[in-house]
Each structure stands twice: as C-alpha cells, then as structure tokens.
Amino acid sequence: MKSDGRLARMLHVLVHMALLGGKETSERIAQMLNTNPVVVRRTLGALRDNGIVESEGGRGGGWKMSKTLDDITVLDVQRALHKGTILSAGVSHDHPSCPVERASNAVLESAHAAAEAKLREIYATTTLAEIARIAVASGGEQAAN
C-alpha cells in the first residue's frame, strides 16, 4: 500500500495552526501538505469528530483548533485517525486448528503487544507543545527558508 502518513501530517498541521495564528482553509493546508483539499477535509474531519479541531463552512470559514497544544497528545491524534491497535502482528490463518500455528501467532502477538505498550506510553506523554518546542528550537536558522 502507500504508507500511512496521516499521523505525521496531522501533527504538522496542528502545530502549524497553533504557531502561526488562527484559522486556516483546506486549500492553504493542502498546499503546505503538497496535496489536495479533499484529502485535508477527510483527514481533519476525523480530528473534528474527536474534538481536536472545529470547522466552519461558508465564506471566511476554515479550520481552527479546539484545544491548546498542551492539551493534545500524539496519542489523541493517533486515536482520532485509527481506531484499534497501532501495531499489528501479521499472524497467519492458514491452519487454525494447528497448535504450532497458534503458538507462533501467540508469540508474535505478545511481542507486538509489548512494543505497542511502549509506543502508546510515548505517544501518551508527548504533547504537541513538545513538538512545537523542538521545531522552534531546531528550526531557527532554517525558518527563513
């Protein structure tokens, strides 16, 4: 498949919106993401349904944040975009009654569950404010670009 870049893109957009003032239109966000307004509406729509941003139609409308960067974690955005687990184990279903297949799957699933726990822990303790801080700190020189 094409790799899933929604989480990275949404983090980018949210930090952008918070840092550079207020409302942004789908068209402008599409330009900064190098894509199409429809893709933006689709993806930001999921964040709206989870109370992270708000949208307003009509002239002068657009998107704005519903929370501050301090009140949004990476995990919040992740959950808005994908229900269910973050990682998946890639098990096999070739011979469901076979104990060996079940044991193999169980080992892989348990390992992935441990890795996912680690990932969720980091996502849950990383706020978008932290990303903004890193960006401001590291991007000072290149900001004039």
Partner DNA sequence: TTTTTCTGTAACCTAAAATGTTACAGATTG
Partner DNA sequence: CAATCTGTAACATTTTAGGTTACAGAAAAA
The region, left, alpha or beta by phi > 0 then psi within -120 to 50, assigned to residue 21 is left
Q: How far apart are CA 71 and CA 67, in angstroms?
A: 6
Min dist. Cβ of residue 95 to its own copies (A): 6
Of 27, 71, 85, 106, the one binding its own copies by CB under 8 A: 106
Distance CA 29, CA 53 (A): 14
Residue 105 in contact with DNA, rule: CB under 7 A: no
3-class state of residue 131 by DSSP = helix
Site string for its own copies, 3-22 (x = CB under 8 A): xxxxxxx-xx--xx--x---
Q: Smallest distance from the beta carbon of 48 to ligand FES, in angstroms?
A: 19
Residue 6 belongs to what H/E stretch?
helix 6-19
Residue 48's binding partner among DNA, ligand FES, its own copies, none (Cβ under 5 to 8 angstroms by kind) is: DNA
Site residues (CB under 7 A) for DNA? 1-6, 9, 25-27, 33-39, 41-45, 48, 55-63, 82
